[in-house]
Amino acid sequence: MKEKKNVFKFAKYVLIYILLILFMMPFYLMVINSFKTTQQFVNNPFSLPKLEKVGFGNYISAFNKMNFLNAIRNSTIITLISVLLILLTASMAAYFLVRHKWKINKIIFATLIASMIVPFQAIMIPLVSIYGRLNLMNSKWILIFMYMGFGQGFAIFIFHGFIKNIPLEMEESALIDGCSKIQSFFQIVFPLLKPVLVTVLILDVLWIWNDYLLPSLVLLSPIERTLPLSTYSFFTTYSVDYAPLMAGIVLTIIPVLIVYLFSQKYIIEGVVQGAIK
């Protein structure tokens, strides 16, 4: 009996590590092939690179052609400002919607929740049509404003669920002490929101950082490109020479992996919380 159990346990380990290797294989292949010439890569994608031959050559060429620093700067600005605006405005709105059960507030809340099921494709054409005709395209700030709008539904939903369970007493005593509504929100409620703020922050950062379609419609000039846009244009322009493209992919992934390495626990926890609510 015990032996049978051990065999079973061993099989389980074998199975899970085989799966893990399969899952990780694409990353591993990317990295080793990014140090090869296209010829070496096509001949044998599994061999280890001979560093003295290519070295970081592919990386330097990808870095320059992708205008990497500019792209990562655009991505960072857009992601950070959008997410901060979503966190601030959505938490305030959710708070007000919870604390004032007016009819209009109920309608607003229901509309926000219902909006979460609308696929982007249903908005895309009128969005381009309206903002294009108003001549508002091709600006980071318009894109940030759009993310702020698209982020409201989910963020308010999460904050609403959390704020519902915060007791009123503390705010009431603060209001009696002469605090305004704004003060009592920022001094009492906002700090309590920390766990859900982290959840929304993580999910929205992953969404905006990796988003391609919306920025591709809004940001038309190369100088405004975010990282996914510059990866795409790099590929469509230089698709003959494979090796630098590998390096380009690795470059795009590295910043995300570094952040993941340090905040892995929060990210996974955030995803779970965001999904089960």
Partner 1 sequence: MNSKSKLLNNIGNFVIFIGPSLIAFSCVLLIPLIYGVYLTFTNYSPIKLTYEFVGFSNFQAVFTDKEFWQQFVKTLGYVFYSTIFCNVIAFLLAYLLTSNIKARGFLRAGFFTPNLIGGIVLGYIWKFIFANVFTKVGDALGYQPLMTSFLTHPDRAIIAMIIVTVWQYAGYLMIIYIAGFVGIPQEVQEASEIDGATGFKKLCSITIPLMVPSFIICFFIVISRGFMTYDLNLALTNGQPYGSTRLAAMHIYQKAFQANEYGIGQAEAIIFFATVAIVAVSQVLLTKKFEVEA
Closest residue by Cα to residue 214 from 151, 277, 135, 162? 151
**Residues 82 to 121: which contact partner 1 by CB under 8 A?**
89-90, 92-93, 95-97, 100, 105, 108, 111-112, 115, 117-121
| Residue 70 or 115 with smaller CB distance to partner 1 | 115
φ and ψ of 166, to 5 deg: -90, 125
Residue 183, number of CB atoms within 10 A of its CB: 13
Smallest distance, Å, CB 69 to partner 1?
Answer: 18
Which DSSP category does 45 fall into?
T
* 212 is an interface residue for partner 1 by CB under 8 A: yes
**Residues 138, 24: Cα–Cα separation, whole Å:** 37
Residue span 41-70 as binding mask against partner 1, x where in contact by CB under 8 A, dash where not: xx-xxx------------------------
Kind and range of the H or E element at 272? helix 242-276
DSSP 8-42: HHHHHHHHHHHHHHHHHHHHHHHHHHTTS-HHHHH
Q: What region does 221 belong to: left with phi over 0, alpha with psi -120 to 50, or beta?
A: beta
**Residues 205, 186: Cα–Cα separation, whole Å:** 23
* 35 is an interface residue for partner 1 by CB under 8 A: no
**Residues 240 to 259: which contact partner 1 by CB under 8 A?**
242, 245-246, 249, 252-253, 256-257
Q: Are 259 and 76 in contact (CB under 8 A)?
A: no
* 238 is an interface residue for partner 1 by CB under 8 A: no
| Residue 70 or 233 with smaller CB distance to partner 1 | 233
* 271 is an interface residue for partner 1 by CB under 8 A: yes
Smallest distance, Å, CB 42 to partner 1?
Answer: 6
| Residue 13 or 52 with smaller CB distance to partner 1 | 13
| Residue 119 or 191 with smaller CB distance to partner 1 | 119
* 29 is an interface residue for partner 1 by CB under 8 A: yes
**Residues 142 to 201: which contact partner 1 by CB under 8 A?**
145-146, 148-150, 152-153, 156, 181-182, 185
| Residue 25 or 60 with smaller CB distance to partner 1 | 25
**Residues 243, 147: Cα–Cα separation, whole Å:** 34
Closest residue by Cα to residue 34 from 256, 184, 275, 253? 253
| Residue 23 or 52 with smaller CB distance to partner 1 | 23
**Residues 1 to 20: which contact partner 1 by CB under 8 A?**
9, 12-13, 15-16, 19-20
